[in-house]
A and B are shown apart, each in its own frame.
Chain A
Amino acid sequence: GENVEQHPSTLSVQEGDSAVIKCTYSDSASNYFPWYKQELGKRPQLIIDIRSNVGEKKDQRIAVTLNKTAKHFSLHITETQPEDSAVYFCAASMRSSYKLIFGSGTRLLVRP
């Protein structure tokens, strides 16, 4: 079935360290993989996305990698800052459809 698994569910890092969040998806036809950041009480906001014809994408301190063979993709945040603390959601498109299936979220805490 359509499924996106995300882990860890919580992640605590020291300011300045790196954080990595991983997702796996079930549909080999998935071709779009966005990541959203949701701060407490606010809406999810797109921070980076990647399409299946690209293996890696970087935007300042944030990078996403995609392994289509293994059907997993990861979010990497370097030099973490307290304002990076939030819940992060991965998502994957399903079988060339309109649907984006979201992972269950990772609560990231960056300790000052």
Chain B
Amino acid sequence: DAGVIQSPRHEVTEMGQEVTLRCKPISGHNSLFWYRQTMMRGLELLIYFNNNVPIDDSGMPEDRFSAKMPNASFSTLKIQPSEPRDSAVYFCASSFGGQVANSPLHFGNGTRLTVT
């Protein structure tokens, strides 16, 4: 089991550019989460998918953020246009579960995004 795989590990971009983060969940897991981590705000849940369907995107900061999960083995988080305040570590996590959060989350290694 390779675990949750995220790419790229690091991304440096200029303000206004489009950024796409990618995630491959653990095979067999049916829940996928995107988190953002900053010193000021800690770990924030951005969006949650269950069986490839977005269930709650209330944590997405604004319309500049969008996420997709076209199939069970792939998800993307896109920021367009990016801003310096988007600089953070973005984690993807997966688990096997339904509507109840009682299964362990397995995190990917994260993408460190820097927007200059």
Contact = CB atoms under 8 A, between A and B. Distances in A.
Contacts of A99: 45, 48, 56, 101
Interface string A32-46: 101010000011111
Contacts, number: 57
Contacts of B52: none
Nearest to B39: A105
A94 B99 CA distance: 11
B54 to A, nearest CB: 12
Interface residues of B, number: 21
A100 B56 CA distance: 13
Nearest to A103: B42
A7 interface: no
Interface stretch (B61-69, B70-78, B106-114): B106-114
A44 B107 contact: yes
A46 B42 contact: no
A45 B91 CA distance: 12
Nearest to B92: A43
A96 B100 contact: yes
B99 A97 contact: yes
14 contacts: A32-B102, A34-B105, A43-B107, A44-B43, A44-B107, A49-B104, A94-B101, A96-B100, A97-B100, A97-B101, A98-B56, A100-B105, A101-B45, A102-B43
Interface of A: 31-32, 34, 36, 42-46, 49, 51, 89, 93-94, 96-105
Interface of B: 31, 42-43, 45, 48, 50, 55-56, 91, 97, 99-102, 104-110
By Cβ-Cβ distance, the 7 closest A-B pairs, closest first, are A93-B101, A32-B102, A43-B107, A102-B43, A46-B104, A98-B101, A100-B101
Given A100-B105, A101-B45, 9 more contacts: A32-B101, A43-B108, A44-B43, A44-B91, A44-B105, A51-B102, A97-B100, A98-B56, A105-B42
